[in-house]
Chain A
Amino acid sequence: MTSEQTSTTHAALDAGSPKRTRLPYYPGCTLKTTGKGLEDSALAVAETLGMELVELPRWNCCGVVTSLTDDDLMRHIAPIRNMVRVQEMSDAGLVDDKRVVTLCSMCFNALKWSNARIGGNAEDLKSINDFMYLEEDYRGDSEVVHFLEILKELDPEAIARQVKVPLGNLNVAPYYGCTLLRPKSIGIDDPENPTIQRKFLETMGATVIDNSYKTVCCGSYQTVPDKYAVAELTHDILSHARSAGAEAVTTFCPLCAFNLDNRQREVLEKHPDFEPMPVFYFTQLMAVAFGLNAECCRFDLNHTDPRPLLRGKKLMKEDA
């Protein structure tokens, strides 16, 4: 899409809203593979809302988890190198915003945390800049935001106008997990009782089911050494959502998605009476509500196929 088209679309969509069309976008490794459903649906949703997420050139893996020891600068290089790309893109005038948009919650957390940790420490910033002497110096003044924060800035009416297939009878429990919320200095909502997904899901017309397990960790990377320990958490999180009345959960994290969705296989080994539950990427449901082509949702990559549920609720055509 050319910038001219984008601004036309944008102007047509929300006249009077902040002029924000082309945003630097950091995808992260997993959004190119198992999390493709998150990326493709989010890009389609963003386009519908008059935004173009422009992928950073030469981005590298963010490192996923922030190093928590005080002396470990090397582990901050990966996120900061990406921030150099953001700065380059913004300096070159290729985007209209200095803030880099993330979709994956873990990338969001890792980039924002390192950016704050290193950007806020002149001495460490210099050490890293000196080490990365082949790159231009990072000034430390670019910002990291999550897609939900961008949605929050839009005119709610402009989002509501795009809803073509209201999710009326779908009972959804938003799941937050850890990295969108914790620690407080990084999180985008109340770490104990987040509500940011609720507002948008309600705009989509869904019935939002709240439950106390929405912030409980899915077990994260412990899924590698001990899948059964993680499966117990999956069981607890989904069972609580189910007993609160939910038919599906939403997430923004491809690791939560893997643990909550794929690990249902291990849950069934240990708890044969467990009833499988679809796990949506938040933007997959937005794409459904916007009536966008179902291809962008990549439901084929979901472990527990959500299509029977959507068809049963008349939210998706039988042949889609």
Chain B
Amino acid sequence: MSESKTMMERISESTRSLTTGVDSRDVEHWVTIYIMGRGYEVPADLTIMTAMEFAGYKLIRSCGCRQGFCGACATVFRREGQYKLESALACQTRVEDGMYLVQIPFSPAEAAYYDIESESYDYSVFSKHYPEVARCVSCNTCTKACPQDLEVMDYIQSAIKGDFESLAEQSFDCIQCGLCALRCPAEIVHYNVGHLGRRMFGRYGSPEPEHLKTRLAEMERGEFSSALDALVGASTKKLKELYAARVRESDE
């Protein structure tokens, strides 16, 4: 870009996208992707999510934290010339030339309603609330579909065996995007099973953390009441000052 142009000239000539902020004149490498069958030229270094926005989509579903944590942007795609149906999080995956894709905004499933205090800590909690886990044929399609690279089939098998610890360990990073459940030939809703299992493990299987007990006792005794009252009573200006001056672990 020429140095001699003024800021105003540059703005007036800009082809910057309103949503992605990408100026098409800055782009050297382009790829073609097909969103629901229609082809779009997009910059090669965009994620699927930003590429869709570049192409003109305004995402009101299938879009959340944009950081790979919320699980809202499940996407399925095929690469040109490939038979495999792959899946990914749109915010975490870069576009590739010839990608055919669509977003899956929602996985229809009902989560169990239960009182954790009255459940028994064995496999029967899964039989009661998600009996369809017994339909698993060990095809491993769920694992292949998981954008978090979890061993999904293994944690469903742990549920069948009543092994809560292994289930909790293996499903810990689940973000509930729902891709496993949509691919499952046995119609299992894996993420709900994992959720139930982790709650059960948290309630009955893992030791109560000492530091939490200590801190709760401190709060009960009112050790933080005056500090909290001071914050609640502070002006916005004071809060901003406090925030800017806060000490973070990474600063120490």
Direct contact between A and B judged by beta carbons closer than 8 A: yes
* Least CB distance, B229 to chain A, in whole angstroms: 52
B138 — which chain A residues lie within 8 A by C-beta? Answer: 60-61, 63, 77-78, 81
Q: Are B157 and A33 in contact (CB under 8 A)?
A: no
A33 — which chain B residues lie within 8 A by C-beta? Answer: 122-124, 161-162
Q: Are A60 and B157 in contact (CB under 8 A)?
A: yes
How distant is the Cα of A61 from the Cα of B143 in the complex, in angstroms? 16
A78 — which chain B residues lie within 8 A by C-beta? Answer: 136-138
User: Size band of the B side of the interface?
Assistant: 10 to 19
Question: Is B39 in the interface zone, CB < 8 Å from A?
Answer: no
Minimal Cβ-Cβ distance residue in B for A63? B137
Q: Once A and B bind, how many residue pairs between them come within 8 Å at the CB atom?
A: 46
Question: Is A29 in the interface zone, CB < 8 Å from B?
Answer: yes
How distant is the Cα of A132 from the Cα of B163 in the complex, in angstroms? 24
Question: Is B140 in the interface zone, CB < 8 Å from A?
Answer: yes
B139 partner, pick from A29, A32, A74, beta carbons under 8 A: A74
Contact with A along B148-161 (1 / 0, CB 8 A): 00000110010011
Question: Is B190 in the interface zone, CB < 8 Å from A?
Answer: no
How distant is the Cα of A21 from the Cα of B167 in the complex, in angstroms? 32
Q: Are A77 and B157 in contact (CB under 8 A)?
A: no
* Least CB distance, B85 to chain A, in whole angstroms: 14
Question: Is B56 in the interface zone, CB < 8 Å from A?
Answer: no
How distant is the Cα of A29 from the Cα of B138 in the complex, in angstroms? 13
Q: Are A61 and B157 in contact (CB under 8 A)?
A: yes
* Least CB distance, A68 to chain B, in whole angstroms: 15
Q: Are A61 and B122 in contact (CB under 8 A)?
A: no
Q: Are B162 and A32 in contact (CB under 8 A)?
A: yes
How distant is the Cα of A61 from the Cα of B140 in the complex, in angstroms? 12
Counting from the closest, the 10 A-B pairs by CB-CB distance are: A78-B138, A60-B138, A60-B157, A32-B161, A29-B160, A33-B123, A29-B161, A61-B160, A81-B138, A33-B162
Identify the B interface with A (CB < 8 A): 122-124, 134, 136-140, 143-144, 153-154, 157, 160-163, 185
